[in-house]
């Protein structure tokens, strides 16, 4: 058996050698052929033409895999307003978005905003913080950024379509367990501090947005709002560390379990979302008119 394998090895080795020699010869032949051709042009050395640049087709990010995100202010509230009013407002919003890049962000993301300020040195001021709330519809859409600077909590409410905003960058794109983080006012300050020298964290354009499942520890009561009550539907607070089970049960007295069956509160926006997303994408892809 060993003798057979040894012989096999020798045979393989010799085959490989022959193949190598053949390849080398081919290479030699090919280069020599080229040289012969060049010689036949007339003796002049041809000018070096660089090879054509390779066209990189990024097949990893097809349109279907890009995350579809429609900013919530495009979705009109459920009111008896003529849809023409929203259509006209949407046109203005898209025009503004062509000038200022308003990135995709959620409540819980860290943003840095540069705004024009006549009283600041350099005429601009820059503020960064966690987005705790996104409100408003249409052109009056707002978002609130919170940060703790020198031990003082600061919240600034920016209007997304204000002409004074010059730059919006998302330093960290993530979601939280809640849609509204107002309870950070009553939480320990470490949860609201954002380092002012923070570098942007790269995020992917495809797939789901990462959800930060931190549950926040609160300062002792009294709080600004009774966050344990079911109407706020807060998932992101460690109630077990600050309230006794009796108090939590007492808070459930204000639960309104019939509200999920309230048909008048049903508002299905999927069709509207699709339509507006298509409209926004087509308008944004058109180049800015001269």
Partner 1 sequence: MAAWTCRFLLYRGARVLAGRTGAVAAADSCLFQSVRTVKTTTWWEEHLTEDNKSYMRKSLGEEYNRQIAAKLHPLKDEPWPRQEWTKESRRVGLVAVKLGMAPVWTKTGERHVVTMLQVQDCHVLNYLSKEEYDGHTAALMVGGKNASPFYKSDEEMEMFRLAGVPPKQKVTTFKVSDNAIIKPGTPLYAAHFRPGQYVDVTAKTIGKGFQGVMKRYGFKGQPAFVGKSIHLNKYDPAKVFKGKKMPGMMGNVFDTAHGLKVWRVNTRYNVIYVHGSVPGHKNCLLKVRDTNLPTYVEKNINPPFPTFFCEEDEQLPEDLYDEDLFIHTQPSLTL
- Sites of contact with partner 1 (CB under 8 A): 79-82, 84-85, 88-89, 92-93, 95-96, 98-100, 116-118, 123-124, 138-140, 159, 161-166, 288
Cα–Cα dist 143/156, whole Å: 8
Question: Kind and range of the H or E element at 275?
Answer: helix 270-285
Nearer of residues 25 and 95 to partner 1, judged by Cβ: 95
* 3-state SS, residue 185: helix
Nearer of residues 38 and 92 to partner 1, judged by Cβ: 92
Cα–Cα dist 111/83, whole Å: 32
Cα–Cα dist 39/104, whole Å: 61
Nearer of residues 64 and 99 to partner 1, judged by Cβ: 99
- Minimum CB separation from partner 1 for residue 163, in Å? 5
Cα–Cα dist 94/139, whole Å: 10
Question: Kind and range of the H or E element at 154?
Answer: strand 152-159
Cα–Cα dist 169/101, whole Å: 9
The token pair that represents 127 in the structure block: 């503020």
- Minimum CB separation from partner 1 for residue 266, in Å? 22
- Minimum CB separation from partner 1 for residue 81, in Å? 5
- Minimum CB separation from partner 1 for residue 45, in Å? 53
199 in the Ramachandran plot: left (φ > 0), alpha (ψ -120 to 50) or beta? beta
User: Which residues, other chains included, contact 289 with Cβ-Cβ below 8 Å and sequence gap of 6+?
Assistant: none
The residue assigned the tokens 């308003």 is 102
Nearer of residues 116 and 211 to partner 1, judged by Cβ: 116
Neighbours of 146 (CB within 10 A): 21
- Minimum CB separation from partner 1 for residue 123, in Å? 6
Cα–Cα dist 224/185, whole Å: 8
Nearer of residues 89 and 174 to partner 1, judged by Cβ: 89
Cα–Cα dist 87/85, whole Å: 5
Nearer of residues 118 and 220 to partner 1, judged by Cβ: 118
Nearer of residues 50 and 118 to partner 1, judged by Cβ: 118
- Minimum CB separation from partner 1 for residue 122, in Å? 10
- Minimum CB separation from partner 1 for residue 114, in Å? 9
């Amino acid at each position: 058996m060993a003798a057979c394998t040894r012989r096999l090895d020798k045979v393989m080795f010799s085959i490989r050698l022959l193949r190598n020699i053949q390849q080398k010869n081919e290479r030699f032949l090919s280069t020599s052929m080229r040289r012969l051709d060049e010689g036949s042009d007339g003796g002049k050395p041809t000018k070096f033409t660089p090879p054509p640049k390779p066209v990189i087709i990024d097949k990893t990010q097809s349109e279907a895999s890009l995350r579809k995100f429609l900013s919530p202010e495009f979705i009109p509230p459920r009111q008896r307003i003529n849809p023409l009013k929203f259509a006209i407002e949407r046109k203005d919003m898209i025009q503004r978005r062509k000038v200022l890049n308003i990135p995709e962000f959620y409540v819980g993301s860290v943003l840095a905003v540069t705004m024009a300020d006549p009283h600041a040195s350099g005429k601009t001021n820059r503020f960064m913080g966690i987005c705790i709330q996104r409100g408003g519809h249409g052109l009056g859409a707002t978002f609130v950024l919170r940060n703790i600077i020198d031990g003082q909590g600061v919240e600034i409410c920016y209007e997304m379509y204000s002409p004074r905003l010059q730059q919006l960058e998302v330093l960290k794109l993530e979601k939280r367990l809640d849609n509204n983080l107002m309870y950070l006012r009553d939480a320990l300050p470490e949860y609201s501090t954002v380092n002012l020298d923070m570098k942007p964290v790269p995020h992917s354009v495809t797939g789901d947005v990462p959800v930060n499942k931190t549950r926040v520890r609160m300062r002792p009561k009294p709080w600004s709002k009774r966050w344990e009550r079911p109407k706020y539907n807060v998932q992101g607070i460690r109630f077990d560390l600050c309230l006794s089970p009796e108090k939590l049960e007492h808070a459930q007295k204000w639960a309104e379990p019939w509200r999920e069956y309230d048909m008048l509160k049903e508002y299905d926006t999927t069709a509207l979302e699709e339509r507006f997303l298509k409209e926004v994408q087509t308008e944004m892809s058109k180049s800015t008119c001269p």
